[in-house]
Every structure is written in structure tokens, then in C-alpha cells.
A and B are shown apart, each in its own frame.
Chain A
């Protein structure tokens, strides 16, 4: 089964804690992305990565960090510096051949208690 998996589906975090969201794809896609979705706000780009060991900040990178050590994996860490982390987080990927088509994972809903 090809696709993008995100885990966990639901995540609860206490204030002041860092938490890492997993994103894995077996589509052999080159580029991967993290978006944040808030009610009525659409999707906003947090970070993106074109190739392994390289990534760039998106529009709302403050309080987040990423790594891209493997082509198939792009984990997102929500740090304690992120002031309002409760949101729905979506990972996406695209291939070099069709770079404009992004495929999304099922998302992780993070709630800060």
C-alpha cells in the first residue's frame, strides 16, 4: 500500500513539553511538507524539504523544527516555544516528475492541555 502515514492520529501534550510528529512516505517522493490547519484558517506551510538533509522555513516556522535524514521520513517537532500549538498537522509530499501535485497524509491532531 503506497501512501503517506502520520502518527499518532491524536496527541496530547502538557504545556512546556516538546513533542515530535511522525511522517513517513513510501511513494519515493523527493519533496515533503508540513502544514498546520486551524478552523477557518486554511492550511499554512510550516517547513518544506526538497531533498535529504535540506529543508527551508515556510510561513509559520517559529516554534517548530524538522529534520530530513531519510528520503521517506520528515518528522516535525513542536517545541515549547510554539505559543499556540493546538492544531491539526498535515504532512504532504510531491515527486520530482509532478512537483505541483501534493499528496497529503491523514493528519495528526495535537492538543495542548
Chain B
């Protein structure tokens, strides 16, 4: 119930194409769904995030689609560029302490390695 399942494991997309990465979860207590981008040898960086009361969120070329009833969410990268080549992780949060306390645990998917060919 604490898992977040991510697919595909790897993805190759032509420059200008759309990259789509999918995640699914079981625990309905999860209340925050971020996506992180990681370049080789670096720490992950927050890319975009969504709450379950919203079905879609867009920031530039990056869009999260969220389906609460199916317990699935996905990242769409429009007009994919070679600079987008990285590993992408979806995650879901669970609260560790009551409201007002700092910090929350993130449960990560296993990651998707995206390669955008020029």
C-alpha cells in the first residue's frame, strides 16, 4: 500500500515529441504528488507537483495529469528537448506528524530514464 509504481523504466523520444511517464499508487491517504528530475551525479530537483483536488497542472512544457478514481498520475513533457534527458521520479507524500509539523515522508517510484534524441 505504500508503493508508488512507475513506468516505463526507460524511454527514448525524438526531439520535439511528447514524453509520457506514468505512476500509480494504492494508498488513498497520499495527498501530494511531486515529480523530481535528476541529472547524472546530481541530487533530484523538484520539477512540478499536484494535489489530488486538481486534475491537471501545467508549468511550461511540463504537465501533470491526475486521475483520483484510478489512483494514477502522469507527467507529460511537450516538445521534448535533448536537455530534458534525465531520470524522472514520481513520488507521493504521507504525513509523518499532525498538521503544523515540519516535514513529510516521500515515497518514490523507481524512476524513468528519459533520452531525447536530436
Contacts and interface: CB of A to CB of B under 8 A. Distances in A.
A107 B42 contact: yes
B104 interface: yes
A73 interface: no
Contact of B103 (A44, A94, A104): A94
Contacts of A103: 46
Interface in B46-101: 46, 49, 89, 93, 96-97, 101
Nearest to B32: A100
A107 B41 contact: yes
Given A42-B109, A42-B111, A43-B108, A50 B103 contact: yes
B108 A42 contact: yes
Interface residues of A, number: 33
B102 A50 contact: yes
B45 to A, nearest CB: 7
B110 interface: yes
A38 B30 CA distance: 24
B102 A30 contact: yes
Contact of B93 (A31, A100, A109): A100
A50 B43 contact: no
B110 A40 contact: yes
B12 interface: no
B110 A104 contact: no
A109 B40 CA distance: 12
Q: Which of B43, B96, B108 has the most CB of A within 10 A?
A: B43
Contacts of B101: 50, 96, 99
A48 B105 contact: yes
Contacts of A99: 101-104
A90 B102 contact: no
B110 A90 contact: no
Interface of A: 4, 6, 29-31, 33, 35, 40-45, 48, 50-51, 56, 58, 90, 92, 94-96, 99-107, 109
Interface of B: 6, 9, 32, 34, 36, 41-46, 49, 89, 93, 96-97, 101-106, 108-111
6 contacts: A42-B6, A58-B105, A90-B44, A94-B104, A100-B32, A103-B46
